[in-house]
Chain A
Amino acid sequence: MSDDDIKIEVNGVPMSARKGQMIIQVTDPAGVYIPRFCYHDKLSIAANCRMCLVEVEKAPKPLPACATPVTDGMKVFTKSAAAIAAQKATMEFLLINHPLDCPICDQGGECELQDLAMGFGRDVSRYNERKRVVADKDIGPLVSTDMTRCIHCTRCVRFTEEIAGLQELGTLGRGENMEIGTYIERSVDHELSGNVIDLCPVGALNSRPFRFRARSWEMMQQATVSPHDSVGSNLFAHTMHGKLLRVVPRPNEALNETWIADRDRFSYAGIYTDDRLETPVFRVDGEFRPTDWATALQRVATRLGETAKEGSLGVLAAPGATLEEHYLLQKLARDLGSNNIDHRLHAMDLGDDDNDPPFPWLGAAVAELESADAVLVVGSHIRHEVPVLAHRLRKAGLAGSQINFLNPAGFEYLFPVHEYAETPLSQLQPQLVALLGAVEAVTGRRSELAVDRGAISDAHRRIADSLMSGDKSHVVLGHLATRHPGYSKLRAIATEIARLVGATMGYIPESCNAAGAYMAGVVPHRAPGGKPVAEPGRNARQMLAEACDAYVLLGFEPQHDTAEGQAAIETLRGASFVVMLASWLDPTAIEYADVILPIGTFAETAGTYVNMQGDQQSFSGVAEPVGDARPGWKVLRVLGNQLELDGYEYNNAAEVLAAANADIGVMRPDNTIARSPAINGAQYSEAEMPRPSRIYGIDPLVRRARPLQRTRDAKRTADR
């Protein structure tokens, strides 16, 4: 027992506590509930709501449990007459100016004020004066405001200041006239700002897209996983009558903590749109006509069967498809004799596949970044790529980690950045080589990479020093590096840097399941489990540059979701048969697609995503598929049956997963590259560089989520 361990007594029950803890931090884990509004374990302590007043022996007045540090031998009474009287007094004050509009308030049924009023309020108010009315604010398309309901707990204010790092909300005025607002009317734009909806204990801040859609008790809550980025944020889906109406975070300290990005929260709005595909369609005379599944599948099976005999088949999958879909798709391709399969749709450099890491991942657990000594992020607008990971970096930065960037100019990070080395993307390779030079100078170790180290700047030296400053450092390549035309070289140089300084080497996998695609063998050079194939097929870039005879496209829209969208469409037009598995009818598909099979979105299928730390996270379908749409894995399974292939007898997604995992075997995340390629002084022009991803343009679902498209971030990045 260290000196910091002390004993306190709560309601006569002895409890152990640590010095410096507040009373509520001891009682919460012990299951002794103390009512509260302003206290939140992820935010600073405000002690302003006064709901958690408790009696403490020898204290002349009731003390707030959230802000009173424990002392040895302290005796706390949370339910004594004095404590209850103080809590009831606070409740009365909170209610006098709170509107009695629970019947029309979206928070009704899940309202902290409502719940606590049941326990601590009176049934009749003694307040006979005029109630306060507060003008609502327009803070953007995501968060609705009913400011008369505000109880001034300031959780939202503290969130924007402490978690988002951009103080977009504050308190104005004083006393009874204090209001939460933006000062000058403007929207609240941070990519995590939707979390204020969950934080708000009353109905003042609510989900705008969800407004008046359902009462909380009418909905079912089911667990699911975010389909947008590779953290794999845990979500709860709220559904009614089989429709997904709302998404909220499912706390998971290892991944998303209690937060989710606005993208995860509001993308569901894209599920139910006018262009949602409800039946299979086929192209006749320049237009799509609906058909039934049997006809469509028969047609597809026939054409794919023919191609397998006497033509080339190209198979491309979105990195956001499920592991089950990935597995069945590659199985189908390979059973039809084709290794032309890939998920790396944005990649421009797939020239060194022999050295491709078997299972690219972050190189560390998400939560580990928080306690890093130093991090180097290369080529990533990380706030837009993976907002929740950016939050981890921010926490690390605020706690004293040295966070460094080698990035194009203009990405804003809301924490102290140790070194932001600006470089045009076309110069990323020489810059990284110079950094390698600086690292060699600092470590006194040489890299075998034979390339002129170029001009080493002070910024390079500072980053090199920083990476050497502690035991725990990480090098991470973002999407701008993995999509770079010199990616295989960047990868080799960064790996050398990491090796010399003893850092972990990592990648930010694309979308939610690029890691799963690697596991499942959705690459032309490796089968499931990373096993080599005898004859590697054509990679995405090759397939999209030169037409195959037939294509299967799963879950993406070529003009948005490939490196060179327009060129991809031209190539696809040259194929004799293209089948898409898609959830929406993309108008440009008329140019190249022969058949489109409607599949369910992430909400309408069971499946598994593998995140950036290699976790397989399975989920079940939470909503009914729209129209005749079917889960992708079912479509692929039936296609296998139609083609009279063996081993497509799965009854559910779990069986597919079991088969996939049996095939994959034991596979651990692994960023090893076999050997370094020759690093030449390739010259790139800015014009051929990848554009930073649009935060609300990364996949077909997000692009259709209207609330997200109305945000300032969407508008600002619309030209990318």
Chain B
Amino acid sequence: MSWLDKKNLVAFATLGRDEPWTLANYRATGGYESWEKIIRGEISPEEIIDIVKASGLRGRGGAGFPTGLKWSFMPRNAPGQKYLVCNSDESEPGTCHDRDILRYNPHALIEGMAIAAYSMGATVAYNYIRGEFYAEPVPRFEAALREAYDAGLLGKRLRGSDIDFDLHMFVGAGAYICGEETGLLESLEGKPGKPRFKPPFPAHYGLYGRPTTVNNTYTLASVPTILRKGAEWFADLGPEKSGGTAIYSVSGHVEKPGNYELPMGIPFRELLEICGGVLGGKKLKAVIPGGSSVPVVPAEIIMDLNMDYDSLSEAGSALGTGAVVVMDETTCMVSMLERISRFYFAESCGQCTPCREGTGWLNRMILRIMDGRGQAEDLDMLVNVANKIEGHTICALGDAAAWPVQSFIKHYRHEFQYMIEHGGKSIVEAKGRAAA
């Protein structure tokens, strides 16, 4: 099969049309067929959850939790308000596919949210969009929302049925931590984005204390296609246990960076080829395959891996958000780690001790090494401090701050050692001079 077959597109199905974001264009790809069937009473909530389970759809926000299973946790028939919340607070460095779904195919998300909410007995949903999307994705989504309401696809007692579904948009204020689902709920409630301790999980105590499910934009936008084309079709796109496509946000040292929606599990080698190879034909050094928080994978390992949840997990990394950061041989891994650690230092919410105190410590140690004041024992200490953050915090930001440190030092210890021994000089610079 051809990796680039347009028939295989799920969330980017409208791409290639003029103004792909309009309702008309979405309908032309079969959009809202499933939702209308539901409104006509042709599909039951249980059936939807079964189909989604069978499709192998897993959460695209990073953790890869099976979506159908997550939906089945909601106390669907319990009395009282229940909520669906879409996480469009796309903030993981390197990741930009949700932005393009909001820009080019917002109706897929709206339909996906309607279907998901219906399956879980939620009549109100919120789409939490990151603040930095204010320029284009937000107005695009807002316009689509208006179109959908005007077309009678959203609202109360839809087309005379007893189905209610209201969808509201909320724009965040630009904190990474608000992409963590409970931090997002806090922020949505108007409070500082500080993640909640779980349990209780949102399915029992979520938005305003009500049962809530939080799903990622791309996850929800995949749902209408699954219902339309069938669970089997979707499952067959990917390897066993993870169906569908992945949008790989490829950035860094490649010829053609961008978002590529491709069947899940494409070999990295093929993906790199589709992106035109390493920039300037240089040698590949390493890849962060799933957003800046997942462990880095050296070139020689990644070249033989498939880009899906299980393959990357077996290799000690993760598919994460599918943000592929490609680094060529000129990349200084110490500077790279410094930049990543600075990000988590800046974005720690500050509520729990290991992350609040530890992220700054990590960053300062790396800065000190770059400043030529590193000590031989600093490397073990970096890993040790990272280990003490990992698994000790309320949310996964602590882990996200620890994994890069652990993996960079595991695979590129010699670069750190070189810098410590050479007064802050990078091994890459030294090599560059030798070559010249």
- Report whether A50 and B192 are in contact in the complex, using a CB–CB cutoff of 8 Å: no
- Report whether A127 and B354 are in contact in the complex, using a CB–CB cutoff of 8 Å: no
**Complex-state Cα separation, A259 to B183, whole angstroms:** 32
Contact of B357 among A94, A130, A154 (CB under 8 A): A94
A634 at the B interface (CB under 8 A) = no
A676 at the B interface (CB under 8 A) = no
**Complex-state Cα separation, A130 to B363, whole angstroms:** 12
**Complex-state Cα separation, A60 to B390, whole angstroms:** 12
**Complex-state Cα separation, A5 to B368, whole angstroms:** 55
**Complex-state Cα separation, A64 to B198, whole angstroms:** 11
**Complex-state Cα separation, A446 to B353, whole angstroms:** 64
Give the Cβ gap from A49 to chain B, nearest Cβ, in Å.
6
- Report whether B350 and A49 are in contact in the complex, using a CB–CB cutoff of 8 Å: no
- Report whether B358 and A93 are in contact in the complex, using a CB–CB cutoff of 8 Å: yes
Residue among A53, A60, A175 with max Cβ neighbours from chain B (10 Å): A175
| Set of chain B residues within 8 Å of A126, measured between Cβ atoms | 381
Closest to A93 in B: B357
Q: Known: A64-B197, A92-B388. Is A176-B349 also a contact (CB below 8 A)?
A: no
Q: Known: A47-B197, A175-B345. Is A152-B353 also a contact (CB below 8 A)?
A: yes
- Report whether B192 and A174 are in contact in the complex, using a CB–CB cutoff of 8 Å: yes
Closest to A87 in B: B392
Those of B347-394 within 8 Å (CB) of chain A: 347-354, 356-361, 364-365, 368, 381, 388, 391-394
| Set of chain B residues within 8 Å of A50, measured between Cβ atoms | 352-354, 392-393
Those of A26-61 within 8 Å (CB) of chain B: 45-51, 53, 60-61
- Report whether A175 and B346 are in contact in the complex, using a CB–CB cutoff of 8 Å: yes
Give the Cβ gap from B86 to chain A, nearest Cβ, in Å.
24
Contact of B392 among A69, A90, A96, A97 (CB under 8 A): A90
Closest to A127 in B: B361
A62 at the B interface (CB under 8 A) = yes
Closest to A91 in B: B353
Give the Cβ gap from B186 to chain A, nearest Cβ, in Å.
12
Give the Cβ gap from B123 to chain A, nearest Cβ, in Å.
27
- Report whether B349 and A174 are in contact in the complex, using a CB–CB cutoff of 8 Å: yes
| Set of chain B residues within 8 Å of A49, measured between Cβ atoms | 352-353
A151 at the B interface (CB under 8 A) = yes
Give the Cβ gap from A116 to chain B, nearest Cβ, in Å.
12
A133 at the B interface (CB under 8 A) = no
**Complex-state Cα separation, A27 to B101, whole angstroms:** 50
**Complex-state Cα separation, A152 to B352, whole angstroms:** 8
- Report whether A61 and B392 are in contact in the complex, using a CB–CB cutoff of 8 Å: yes
| Set of chain A residues within 8 Å of B394, measured between Cβ atoms | 47-48
Give the Cβ gap from A129 to chain B, nearest Cβ, in Å.
4
Contact with A along B388-405 (1 / 0, CB 8 A): 100111100000000000
- Report whether B197 and A130 are in contact in the complex, using a CB–CB cutoff of 8 Å: no
- Report whether A173 and B350 are in contact in the complex, using a CB–CB cutoff of 8 Å: yes
B145 at the A interface (CB under 8 A) = no
| Set of chain B residues within 8 Å of A89, measured between Cβ atoms | 354, 388, 392
Contact of B350 among A64, A93, A127, A175 (CB under 8 A): A175
**Complex-state Cα separation, A97 to B353, whole angstroms:** 11
**Complex-state Cα separation, A129 to B363, whole angstroms:** 10
Interface residues on A, range: 35 or more
A111 at the B interface (CB under 8 A) = no
- Report whether A175 and B348 are in contact in the complex, using a CB–CB cutoff of 8 Å: yes
Contact of A86 among B346, B349, B392 (CB under 8 A): B392
B199 at the A interface (CB under 8 A) = yes
A645 at the B interface (CB under 8 A) = no
B57 at the A interface (CB under 8 A) = no
Q: Known: A49-B353, A174-B175. Is A62-B199 also a contact (CB below 8 A)?
A: no
A295 at the B interface (CB under 8 A) = no
Contact with B along A77-96 (1 / 0, CB 8 A): 00000000010011011101
Give the Cβ gap from A40 to chain B, nearest Cβ, in Å.
16
Give the Cβ gap from A703 to chain B, nearest Cβ, in Å.
42
A291 at the B interface (CB under 8 A) = no
**Complex-state Cα separation, A123 to B142, whole angstroms:** 58
| Set of chain B residues within 8 Å of A129, measured between Cβ atoms | 360-361, 364-365, 368
| Set of chain B residues within 8 Å of A128, measured between Cβ atoms | 368
- Report whether A176 and B345 are in contact in the complex, using a CB–CB cutoff of 8 Å: yes
- Report whether A175 and B347 are in contact in the complex, using a CB–CB cutoff of 8 Å: yes
| Set of chain B residues within 8 Å of A174, measured between Cβ atoms | 175, 177, 192, 347-350
- Report whether B351 and A48 are in contact in the complex, using a CB–CB cutoff of 8 Å: yes
| Set of chain B residues within 8 Å of A152, measured between Cβ atoms | 350-351, 353, 356
Q: Known: A61-B392, A86-B392. Is A176-B357 also a contact (CB below 8 A)?
A: yes
- Report whether A171 and B192 are in contact in the complex, using a CB–CB cutoff of 8 Å: yes
Contact of A171 among B175, B350, B354, B357 (CB under 8 A): B350
Closest to B394 in A: A47
| Set of chain A residues within 8 Å of B392, measured between Cβ atoms | 50, 53, 61-62, 86, 89-90
| Set of chain B residues within 8 Å of A90, measured between Cβ atoms | 353-354, 392
Contact with A along B196-210 (1 / 0, CB 8 A): 010100000000000
A365 at the B interface (CB under 8 A) = no
| Set of chain B residues within 8 Å of A175, measured between Cβ atoms | 345-350, 356, 359-360
**Complex-state Cα separation, A51 to B177, whole angstroms:** 22
Those of B313-365 within 8 Å (CB) of chain A: 345-354, 356-361, 364-365
A178 at the B interface (CB under 8 A) = yes
| Set of chain B residues within 8 Å of A53, measured between Cβ atoms | 392
| Set of chain A residues within 8 Å of B349, measured between Cβ atoms | 174-175, 178
**Complex-state Cα separation, A69 to B392, whole angstroms:** 17
**Complex-state Cα separation, A92 to B354, whole angstroms:** 9
**Complex-state Cα separation, A126 to B347, whole angstroms:** 24
Closest to B397 in A: A175
- Report whether A93 and B345 are in contact in the complex, using a CB–CB cutoff of 8 Å: no
Q: Known: A47-B197, A171-B192, A175-B346. Is A93-B353 also a contact (CB below 8 A)?
A: yes
| Set of chain B residues within 8 Å of A86, measured between Cβ atoms | 392
**Complex-state Cα separation, A93 to B364, whole angstroms:** 14
Those of A143-194 within 8 Å (CB) of chain B: 151-152, 154, 171, 173-178
**Complex-state Cα separation, A176 to B341, whole angstroms:** 14
Residue among B349, B357, B360, B364 with max Cβ neighbours from chain A (10 Å): B357
| Set of chain B residues within 8 Å of A127, measured between Cβ atoms | 361
Those of A314-368 within 8 Å (CB) of chain B: none
Give the Cβ gap from B192 to chain A, nearest Cβ, in Å.
7
Give the Cβ gap from A69 to chain B, nearest Cβ, in Å.
7
- Report whether B192 and A96 are in contact in the complex, using a CB–CB cutoff of 8 Å: no
A714 at the B interface (CB under 8 A) = no
Contact with B along A109-127 (1 / 0, CB 8 A): 0000000000000000011
- Report whether A45 and B368 are in contact in the complex, using a CB–CB cutoff of 8 Å: no
Give the Cβ gap from B382 to chain A, nearest Cβ, in Å.
11
Closest to B199 in A: A69
| Set of chain B residues within 8 Å of A698, measured between Cβ atoms | none
A301 at the B interface (CB under 8 A) = no
| Set of chain B residues within 8 Å of A61, measured between Cβ atoms | 391-392
Give the Cβ gap from B39 to chain A, nearest Cβ, in Å.
40
A442 at the B interface (CB under 8 A) = no
| Set of chain B residues within 8 Å of A177, measured between Cβ atoms | 350
Residue among A48, A62, A97 with max Cβ neighbours from chain B (10 Å): A48
| Set of chain B residues within 8 Å of A60, measured between Cβ atoms | 391
**Complex-state Cα separation, A146 to B357, whole angstroms:** 18
- Report whether B388 and A178 are in contact in the complex, using a CB–CB cutoff of 8 Å: no
Closest to B344 in A: A175
| Set of chain B residues within 8 Å of A219, measured between Cβ atoms | none
- Report whether B391 and A130 are in contact in the complex, using a CB–CB cutoff of 8 Å: no
Listed by A's residue number, 21 A-B pairs whose Cβ atoms lie within 8 Å are A46-B351, A47-B394, A48-B351, A48-B352, A51-B353, A89-B354, A93-B358, A94-B357, A128-B368, A129-B365, A154-B351, A171-B350, A174-B175, A174-B177, A174-B192, A174-B347, A176-B345, A176-B357, A177-B350, A178-B350, A178-B351
* A residues neighboring B (CB under 8 Å): 45-51, 53, 60-62, 64, 67, 69, 86, 89-90, 92-94, 96-97, 126-130, 151-152, 154, 171, 173-178
| Other A-B pairs, 6, CB within 8 Å; known A171-B192, A175-B348 | A50-B352, A94-B353, A174-B347, A175-B350, A175-B359, A178-B349
